[in-house]
Structures are given as structure tokens and as C-alpha cells.
Structure 1
Amino acid sequence: MNRCLGRALALLAVVLLAGCVGTSVRKPLPSAVDVATAAQAQAARVQWLDAHRDWSLQGRVAIRRADKGGSGRLDWTQRGDCFEVSLSAPVTRQSWRLTGDAAEVVLEGLDGGPRRGADAGQLLLEATGWEIPVQALAFWVRGQAAPGLPQAIIEYGADGYLSALRQGGWRITYTDWRPAAGEVPAMPARVEAERGDSRVRLIIDGWRTGAAP
């Protein structure tokens, strides 16, 4: 093969490669969320949630504040304003149970016997050093703003689901959702609440709506 023919073939290969690159199929970019449609769907969710205030969940939780943290199994039962939250840590074989309503809260499972208070979050902070906004989390965990706090700032993901909520100095992030089933709307599957050096992560394995059987 002479030198001129070799140069011609090389030039032809470059042109063909450039043509292949120019005609390659690109994946479409995710479309921007329609905020109005997402907000309308969220409003319908909240309306349903407000009408069904009895629920329970089972899952796993990881709690951290500064350099102190822990994790374990979580069982949460809510009956209107009344709640029962149980946390068990198989590794340390420790567990505690928090029960109460809008008037009084009782924390059991710690050394020194049960402790009582008017605010679940404050009681947990004083007894364990963990910052967990229990009353607000009862709403945030279901994907809605908590009453009694400043108006929430809400963000939606490209799928139309709630992706983040800012309220009372906390940022609540929703990274996974369970699809709607029957009349029950989509429910969060992974939730993270964070403020300063405090963080609560929840992986929800199961939801139940209505009174316990």
C-alpha cells in the first residue's frame, strides 16, 4: 500500500468515526417536575392522612448527635394524639419504650425507672442525649408538615413525590417511597431528619393504617 492510499484510508476512518459520534443516541434528560400537579397530589395525600390518624409502622432507625449514636429496630403505633414508640438494639441488648399523648409522656427502659414529662423530644434529650422531635416526626414520617410549627418549605422530586421538607429548623429528606396501594396513598420508605449535628434515619419496612387488630 502506497503512502497516499494509507493517508486517504486514515482520513476516511476519522470521518466515519465522527459521523458515528454525531448520530449517537442520547438518553433524554429527566423532565422538570410540574410543581402545581405535585402540590395538588400532595394536598390530596395530606387530606387522606388527616382523615386516617391511626397507624403503625415497623422499621429500622439510626440516631446520631455529635459523636454519640445508636441504631435498632423501631415499632411505632399512633392513635390520634396517643403514641407508643419502642426501640430495641439487639447488639447492645438495650431497649426503651416511649408512650404518651398531648398532655404527658412516659419513658421506660432506662436506669432509675420510668421518667415523665410533657414533651417527648425534651424528655428523650434529657434522658439519652438524643434529639428526636417525636411529635413532629409523627407527621414528617408520613410525608406531611407538622402542625404547630412554622410553615414548611416543600420540595418535589422529578417523580412528583415529596423529596424534602424544611420546618422548625429541621430538614427532612425522602429518598424512597412505597407506591399507592388501593385507597392508601404512596408512603415514605426512607426518611432522614437532620438539624445541626442531630440526625435521625428511618428505613420503614411496613405500614399499617387503622386500629390495631
Structure 2
Amino acid sequence: MKYLLPFLFALLLSACATPPPKHSGSVDAERHQQRLNALTHWSLSGKLAYRGPEERFSANLNWQQWGPDYRFRLSTFIGTSLMDMQRRGKSVALTLDEQTYRHRHAGTLLENLTGWPIPVEQLPHWIKGSSMGAIERQISDNGLLQRLQSSTDWQVTYDDYRQLGDYVLPYSLRLTHQNHLIKIRINQWQPIDDNHAL
């Protein structure tokens, strides 16, 4: 029973984290992008699914962002850690199988150790619907980012935005690059005032 309790508690928490209703209004596109770029302290939880030519997996996703620093965690559906990546300053630390590895470039470190080409450096922008750094973007009629193309040939598409306080944030996005596909479904967003650390 003691092994079952943490699992039941996690299920209860996930059931309580009900996403807000889908956004049905419109925003001023440029002003909205400026607000997203200014949002630098936030956290989220959800699910990430990866499919590549040789591997596929699904995992729970937790991300905490405070300025340029972050903590990015993937875990199994029963809470076992798959990876835990943290950036502090110019150093990135990745913990896998109770071993910690360091590098200056998060994406390179993750792909070298796991084979997963997850664009970690760009995700803090893309995951909140910001087109910062995109070489091409498509804005929908309601002023929200619908698709972007990056200089690294990643394409990101969005199909679900929801109003959360003063922000309209994506709850579903799809990243494609050659024969790699990443789907992210967000269950809970928490924008945080930039004057407060996570």
C-alpha cells in the first residue's frame, strides 16, 4: 500500500489541474508577442511525446524558468525520473541514471547522451508561443502564432490556446524536424511575476 499512495496522490493532483477553457477571442499580434517575450519567470507541467526513426517515448514534462535559467525534467507516468536538466548561468547539468554530466550547450549535451534531438535552447520561447528568433512565422486571424520556422529547420505549429489571467498561452504544440516529431501537451501553466524567483 505504501508504494501505491504516491501514485494515487499524483493522480489526484493531475485531476485537480484542470486547464482553463479554450481562448475564443482575439489579440493584437505584436503587443501579444511583446508580452510573451517579457514573460521570463514561469512554470508548467504536462506531457511530452517524442517519435524518431529509431525510438519513441512519452513522458511527464515539468519546466521551471527564471530568466535565462531553467530546470527541465522528464519522468515516467509513475514518477520515475528519466532526465533532469538544469541551467545555471553558462553551465548546463544533466542527470541521467544518477550520473551528472555538464556542458555549455543543452541541446548538444542531451542529444549526445540520449539521442533525443530536443531543441532545449529554443523551447523557453516556443513553448509559450513566442516567435523570437524565427525566420518565418504565420499569425492566425485572431492574432495568435499559428506556425513558425526556425533557422535550425524546426517547424512549430500551435492548435490550442487558453486564457490564463492576463496571458493567452498555448496548451498544445507540435515540433517537427526531418523525421523527428515532438508533441507537447500542457496541463498547467503558472506565469510568475518577474520580480519573484521560482
The TM-score, its normalising length taken from structure 1, stands at: 0.72
Query: Residue 121 of structure 2 aligns to a residue in which SS?
Result: helix
Partner of 1:83: 70
Alignment partner of 2:60 out of 70, 73, 80: 73
**After superposition, where does 1:175-194 map in structure 2 within 5 Å?**
175-179=159-163, 181-182=164-165, 184-194=166-176
Q: 1:65: how far off?
A: 2.0
- State the shift of 1:71 in Å: 1.0
Partner residue of 1:50? 37
Matched AA of 2:172: R
Q: Look up the equivalent residue of 1:106 and give its one-letter code.
A: A
Distance 1:110 1:198 in 2: 24
Report the Cα distance in structure 2 between the residues aligned to 1:56 and 1:89, rounded to whole angstroms. Answer: 19
Instruction: Name the residue aligned to 1:203.
Output: 185
Listed as ranges, the gaps of 5+ residues in structure 2 are 1-25
Cα distance, 1:92–1:137 mapped onto 2, change above 3 Å: same
Q: Supply the distance in 2 between the matched residues of 1:158 and 1:146 (Cα, whole angstroms).
A: 19
Q: Which has the higher helix share?
A: 1
Task: Please state how far the C-alpha of 1:193 moved relative to its aligned partner.
Answer: 0.9
In proportion to residue count, which structure has more strand?
2
Amino acid at match of 1:171: Q
Letter in 2 for 1:166: Q
Equivalent residues in 2 for 1:1-213 (5 A)? Answer: 41-90=28-77, 93-101=80-88, 103-110=90-97, 113-147=99-133, 151-168=134-151, 169-179=153-163, 181-182=164-165, 184-210=166-192, 211=196
Which fold has the larger relative contact order, with Cα–Cα distance below 8 Å and residues 6 or more apart in sequence?
2
What amino acid is aligned across from residue 187 of structure 1 in structure 2? L
Q: Which runs of 5+ in 1 are unaligned?
A: 1-37
> Does the 8 Å CA contact 1:65/1:131 hold for their aligned counterparts?
no
**Aligned with 2:122: secondary structure?**
helix
Offset of 1:159 from its aligned partner? 4.0
Q: Normalising to structure 2: TM-score of the pair?
A: 0.77
Percent identity, please: 27
Alpha-carbon distance in structure 1 between the residues aligned to 2:150 and 2:181: 15
Distance between the aligned counterparts of 1:103 and 1:67, measured in 2? 32
State the shift of 1:50 in Å. 2.5
The answer (yes or no) to whether the contact 2:73–2:81 under 8 Å persists in 1 is no
2:64·2:70 contact (CA, 8 Å) conserved in 1? yes
Q: Aligned equivalents of 1:207 and 1:201: distance in 2?
A: 17
Given that residues 149 and 156 in structure 2 are in contact (C-alpha distance below 8 angstroms), is that contact kept between their aligned partners in structure 1? yes
| 8 A Cα contact 2:37 2:130, kept in partner | no
CA distance in 2, matches of 1:208, 1:92: 21
Q: CA deviation at 1:95?
A: 2.0
- Specify whether residues 185 and 92 from structure 1 end up closer, same or farther in structure 2 by C-alpha distance, changes over 3 A only: closer
